[in-house]
Structure 1
Amino acid sequence: MPWQQKIPYLMNQPIEVSFVDGTGTSGVLYGVSGGKLLVMEYLYHAQFALRQYDVFTVQDIYGYPGCPG
């Protein structure tokens, strides 16, 4: 499934983003707006940042697997 179709299912969930250049990042998916993927990322201590990534740089988005219980 193309990553754009995963957006509604992964909103407000922890995700991993892989980019076309081979790098990646993780955080909580806030959505897509104005051609940007919005991800809340942890910085350090109690600091977070809402990062914006151009959608053309995104290769795929993955949701974190659930914990076995």
Structure 2
Amino acid sequence: MPWQQKIQHLLGKPVGISFTNGQGTSGILCSAQGGQLYVIEYLYQSQFALKHYDYRMIQDINTFPSCYQQQPLY
């Protein structure tokens, strides 16, 4: 499914975003409007930033998997 069709289901959820340049980021998907995605990303300590990315930069978006899909490592 193209990432554009996933957006409405991913709003408010933790996501990983891959960019067309091979880099990526993760955060909470806040909104999508005007050809931009708005994501809250963790910076450091107790600081977060709302960042925006142009649709043309995005290759794919995926939600984080559940913590309980795998057996614990201990």
TM-score of Structure 1 vs Structure 2, range by shorter chain = over 0.9
Letter in 1 for 2:12: N
Find out whether 1:30 has 2:35 as its counterpart: no
Q: Which residue of 2 aligns with 1:63?
A: 63
What residue ranges of structure 2 are gaps of 5+ in the alignment? 70-74
Aligned identity (percent) is: 52
Cα root mean square deviation, aligned: 1.0
Matched, 1:41 2:54: no
Partner of 1:20: 20
Distance 1:68 1:61 in 2: 21
- Letter of the structure 1 residue corresponding to residue 47 of structure 2: Q
> Which stretches of structure 1, 4 residues or longer, exceed 2 Å deviation after superposition?
none
Q: Could you tell me which residue of structure 2 aligns to residue 2 of structure 1?
A: 2
* Structure 1: gaps spanning 5 or more residues: none
TM-score (ref. length: structure 2): 0.88
The one-letter amino acid of 2:13's match is: Q
Q: How many residues align?
A: 69
